Amino acid sequence: MRETGMPRLAIKLKLTIAYDGSRLSGWQTQATGMGVQSLIEKALDDLMPGAKRHQVHGAGRTDAGVHALGMVAHVEVDPKRFRLPLRRAHLALNARLPDDVRVLSVSRADPSFHARYDAKGKQYRYTVWNHSVMNPMMRDFAWHVPKRIDPVAIRAAAKLFVGSHDFRSFAVNHVYHVEDTVRTLHRMEVRKSGPTWTFIIEGDGFLYRMCRGIVGTLVQASHGRYTVDDVREMLAAKNRTAAGMSAPARGLVLWKVIYPRRGEPKPNFVHRRNPRVGRTRSTDPREEAIE
Triad 117, 120, 122: Cα angle to 5°: 105
Asked if residues 108 and 86 have their Cβ atoms less than 8 Å apart, the reply is yes
Q: Quote the CA–CA distance of 87 and 71 in Å, as a whole number.
A: 19
Rounded Cα distance between 255 and 18, Å, is: 9
Are 227 and 159 in contact by the 8 Å Cβ rule? The answer is no
The partner residues of 18 in beta bridges, in order of sequence, read: 102
**Amino acid symbol at 71:** M
Rg (CA), the chain: 20
Given the residues 20, 45, 46, 63, the one annotated as active site: 63
110 is catalytic: no
CA distance 121 to 201: 11
Q: DSSP 3-state assignment of 124?
A: strand
CB-CB contact of 216 with 245 (8 Å): yes
Give the residues across from 189 on adjacent strands.
200
Do the bridges between strand 67-77 and strand 11-19 make them parallel or antiparallel, or are there none, so unpaired? antiparallel
- Largest Cα span, the chain: 62
| Active site residue ranges | 63
